[in-house]
Amino acid sequence: MLTHQPFHYHSPEELAQDIERLGLSIPLTSDFSALCAPLDCRRFRLPNRFVVLPMEGCDGTGDGAPDELTRRRYRRFAAGGAGLLWVEACAVVPEGRANPRQLWIHAGNTAAFARMLDEARRAAAETMGASHRPVFVLQLTHSGRYSKPGKKPAPIIAHHSKFLDPVMGLPPDYPLITDGELERLEDFYVEAARCALEAGFDAVDVKACHRYLVSELHASFTREGSRYGGPEFENRTRFFRNVVGKIRSRVPGIAVTSRMNAYDAMPHPYGWGMALDGSERPDLSEPLRLVGFLMESGAPLVNITIGNPYYNPYVNRPFDLPIAGAPLPPEHPLEGVARFLHIVRQVQQAYPQLPVVGGGYSWLRQFLPHVAAAAVERGWVSLVGGGRMAFAYPDFPRDVLAGRPLDPQRVCVACSACTQIMRDGGRSGCVPRDAAIYEPIYKAGRAEALDTIRKEAAACRQCNDPACVPACPAGVNVPKFIQAIADGRYRDAYETIREANVLAAVCGYLCPAETLCESACINEHYSGPVPIRHLQRWVSRMALEEGWSREARPRPAATGFRVAVVGAGAAGVAAAVTLASQGHAVTLLDRRPSPGGVARETIPPERLPGEILRRELEDALAASGAVERRQFELNAANPVDSLLAEGFDAVLLAAGLTRSIPLPGAARPKTGVFGALEFLRRVKHEGARAEGAVAVLGGGNTAIDAALSALRAGARDVCILYRRSFAEMPAWPEERDAAMRAGVHFLVLTQPLDYVSDEAGRLAGVKVARTRLGAPDESGRRRPVVIAGTEHVLPCDLAVEAIGQSVDEAVRAALPGVEFTRNGTVAARPGSLETGRDRVWAAGDLVNGGATVVQAVAEGMRAAREIDAALRRAGAAGGR
């Protein structure tokens, strides 16, 4: 066995020298005319010998239709000049999808497939001319043991394999698909073919390769007592032959073919095309027999492949880099190329009248046409497929057809990142050659992958006196939960976080960790801080998916006390859940029917996915088991006294700050000026647009959210007006930097003074002045001082006031006896969250003026503990 070597060739001559040195039979030529020749395939005529092989993008919609990235891919493939586009695996039933975004054709989305074909054909005509008509084959599949229609694998197997079952963790008694189920499944293939014809495909492929269901049936020697398995060829191929026959008879308008394995590289009796002596030698007698059946059935061509990328990574994947840590192939990659070439050659020479598609050429990079043309010229193959090469270099056929050499800077480099994206659950494409689209997807997937997470967790130094814990407002035991992740004890990790923070996932998205826990991480001085927030978000999201967050927690006996919590934002929910866990009867009151408060109303989904917020809030409340929810608006008609009179033993105020502070002293126009909270709500929930130039007044996180939302809502230009410098800006650095990357302009040392209106009363601009920084004020930041004579008007079409938030006047009117600070927040007793009003507490933004979500959660839980202690003292004193 030779040693694996990376690609290192700069000329065909260097490649030829290695082929000769290795004693391999791989032909080369500099005459590419064989690849340019048209080919008649019974029903249709191919304009050239290039085939785009079926490469899954995992980017369909939830109902299986092609999405924008899918359509983009096939427009690019078609414009690339190939004569045949073999469209990727498309499930025939939802449970047969290999991932939640795999294509799945059915009557409900046929029009979407037709649109994709129409766009692709127009793209081909634009680049290749009106006479160029590529042929489209749709690959019909059932993923079998690789089925994963949801977040978790749901294997459907035809037989047990001593090689594959252990890899997938399948027990010996895992059920097999029944004969009855297989018989019914045949008709779903027929229906899918009917939809494919309606959509405009020229042919369908009954996929029988890479150990998906049909391929597995062909190797089901150990499936005893079945019409679809056992030693007989007729039984093991019955499903395939039935499907081909039914499509031919019931959907005569479409051609039927197959991409099939000719060699599994998995010893008999678990592999197809294998020698009966249990070795890894090929025996193509049965595959050739099945190809003969296809030819007799009128197939216009056949597509031959080998191996199983999930079992043996170097039979048909001779790549430079491993997938998910798999070892590098212990052979020279040219060995794999030669193996593929000669197995396809046996099929083609056995049936010289049947056009055969062969693959395995992408590793050859810019020398692909040298080998491919020679193979066609010698009659070893009729058509040449490129899979990963098409991902990387979709117009490689057009360059060859035009007589241009392939560009070494555009070819596939066999890095396998496109496959890694699929394994990480992302939308697949070429990372280095189509980086603008796929590099972010790849990096996001790698960041969430288990191997990455465990590695990041292992970087924690497990400090004896960790500085990260006191830097967390909730006091989460950071080293403990991270060690649990490193050990693979994910449930323990989540429970450790939840002890201190009942909204772990929400805070995992919203915490400014770079200024809190991560800023104190000692690892910052070495290789960089441990990504604490990322690890918390990862394990908390797992808790939502696994249902841990919803499981009821142990609850003590009922205390008999009733507590009203006003406001269902982060502080209110955290308090309600904590109070319920202490045995109290809790009523959560909010003016909205759904919990979430300001976060639900205004935080953009790009920063906090709505589904994460909804699920965690609902799960936390459900797990508490004793929180009643009721709509209630705190105002003069419904004051805090009404709750105390109703019989609540304590009231917690957590209504938040719901009023945006207007620009002081400004003459507000009739239209064109919005408070930040209203603007964010309108964009998020009503789809409001923001056209023209937008000015955002303020420098906090709400200003950043408003600026980015304005850009997403269509604004041409967005600027943030801030009266101090960047050093004093309260927005978190990470959010500020994200806004700059998105194209938001920052006008610092700029003081908004007033608004300018046109004759109709519409906003025309913001009057501003330049500032300089003076001595620090009570906030500790340097005070801005307006520079005389610098006043000017900044033209804009929309202004958003993000100067700050305050308590709504209606809420103030509902709180008689509750004192407020000079800053307009609720005043609490020193060292406590209890107000000056007996039996009334406050937490969250009402008290802190609008800090972090994690601080709101921490205060809600702290207030709950204070209320619990006070109620128990009162109960003990009163004999309750």
| Residue 327, H or E segment | none
Judged against a pLDDT cut of 80, whether residue 206 lies above it is answered with yes
Q: What is the pLDDT of residue 880?
A: 57
pLDDT for the residue numbered 311: 61
Rounded average pLDDT over 797-821: 94
pLDDT of residue 315: 43
Model pLDDT, residue 765: 97
**pLDDT number for residue 17:** 97
Q: Are 604 and 705 in contact (CB under 8 A)?
A: yes
pLDDT above 70 (res 451)? yes
Which tokens is 300 given? 């216009």
Tell me which residue of 73, 102, 98, 67 sits closest to 85, measured CA to CA: 73
Distance between start and end Cα atoms, the chain: 83
For 157-190, the pLDDT digits (tens) are 999 999 999 989 999 999 999 999 999 999 999 9
Calculate mean pLDDT across residues 104-118: 98
Residue 192 has pLDDT above 90, yes or no: yes
Q: How many other CB atoms are there within 10 angstroms of residue 360's CB atom?
A: 28
Q: Which amino acid is at 44?
A: F
Asked whether residue 608 carries a pLDDT value surpassing 90, the answer given is yes
pLDDT of 321: 37
Structure tokens at 60: 């369909």
**Distances in whole angstroms, Cα of residue 352 to Cα of each of 291, 344, 357:** 12, 12, 12
Give residues with Cβ within 8 angstroms of 478, minimum separation 6.
460, 466, 468, 469, 472, 517, 532
Q: What is the 3-state secondary structure (H, E, C) of 544-581?
A: HHHCHHHCCCCCCCCCCCEEEEECCCHHHHHHHHHHHH
Q: Which pLDDT score is estimated for 483? A: 98
pLDDT value of position 324: 39
- Does residue 877 carry a pLDDT above 80? no
Q: Tell me 367's DSSP state.
A: G
Residue 417: phi and psi, rounded to 5, are -65, -30
Instruction: Output the pLDDT for position 360.
Output: 93
Compute the average pLDDT of residues 16-40: 97
Quickly state the pLDDT bin for 329 (edges 50, 70, 90).
low
pLDDT band at 486 (very low <50, low <70, confident <90, very high): very high
Predicted confidence (pLDDT) per residue in 400-441, tens digit: 999 999 999 999 999 999 999 999 999 999 999 999 999 999
In the numeric block, which tokens belong to residue 473? Answer: 């407002």
Q: Report whether pLDDT(313) > 60.
A: no
Segment 233-237 mean pLDDT: 98
Query: Strand order in 840-842's β-sheet?
Result: 627-631, 585-590, 562-566, 650-653, 840-842
- Return the SS3 of 865: helix
777 phi/psi in degrees, rounded to 5:
-100, -165
Q: What is the pLDDT of residue 821?
A: 92
SS3 446: helix
Residue range 428-457: mean pLDDT, rounded: 96
Question: Which tens digit of pLDDT belongs to each residue from 828-837?
Answer: 999 999 999 9
How high is the pLDDT of residue 323?
A: 38
* Residue 681 pLDDT greater than 90, yes or no: yes
**Is beta strand 103-104 parallel, antiparallel or unpaired with respect to 84-91?**
parallel
pLDDT of residue 682: 97
Contacts of 234 (CB under 8 A, 6+ apart): none
Q: Residue 670 and residue 667: Cα distance in Å, rounded?
A: 10
Mean pLDDT, to the nearest integer, of 2-6? 69
Region label for 488, one of left (φ > 0), alpha (ψ between -120 and 50) or beta (otherwise): left
As a whole number, mean pLDDT of residues 385-389 equals 96
What mean pLDDT do residues 214-242 have? 97
CB 214 within 8 A of CB 208: yes
Looking from the CA of 129 toward its CB, the CA atoms found within 13 Å total 5
Check residue 3 and give its pLDDT. Answer: 61
Phi and psi dihedrals of 651, rounded to 5? -130, 130
In the predicted structure, residue 674 carries a pLDDT above the cut 80: yes
CA distances from 106 to 70, 103, 112, 250, 689 (A): 17, 10, 10, 16, 36
Q: pTM of the full predicted structure?
A: 0.89
**pLDDT tier at 317 (50, 70, 90 boundaries)?**
very low
Select from 127, 43, 44, 56 the least CA-distant residue to 87: 56
CB neighbourhood size of 848 (10 A)? 19
Hey, what are 600's tokens? Answer: 């639900």
pLDDT in tens, 500-526: 999 999 999 999 999 999 999 999 999
Q: Is residue 336 predicted with pLDDT exceeding 60?
A: yes
The amino acid occupying position 510 is: L
3-state secondary structure of 175: coil
**How high is the pLDDT of residue 879?**
55
Average pLDDT, whole number, for the chain?
94
Does the pLDDT at position 581 exceed 90? Answer: yes
> Is the preceding peptide bond at 269 cis, omega within 30 degrees of 0?
yes
CA distance 43 to 33: 24
| H or E stretch covering 14 | helix 12-22
Residue 569 contacts residue 656 (beta carbons within 8 Å): yes
Q: What percent of the chain has pLDDT over 70?
A: 97
DSSP-H helix ranges across 23-157: 33-36, 68-79, 110-128
pLDDT at 552 over 90: no
Structure tokens at 568: 């269902």
Q: Per-residue pLDDT for 783 more than 80?
A: yes
| Structural tokens at position 764 | 């025309």
Q: Flag whether pLDDT at 86 surpasses 50.
A: yes
- Is a pLDDT exceeding 60 seen at residue 328? no
pLDDT digits (tens, 9 = 90+) for 856-865: 999 999 999 9
- What is the reported pLDDT for 244? 98
Structure tokens at 870: 């006070």
pLDDT band for 309, please (50, 70, 90 cuts).
confident
pLDDT of residue 875: 83
Identify which of 78, 82, 77, 60 has the alpha carbon closest to the alpha carbon of residue 69. 60
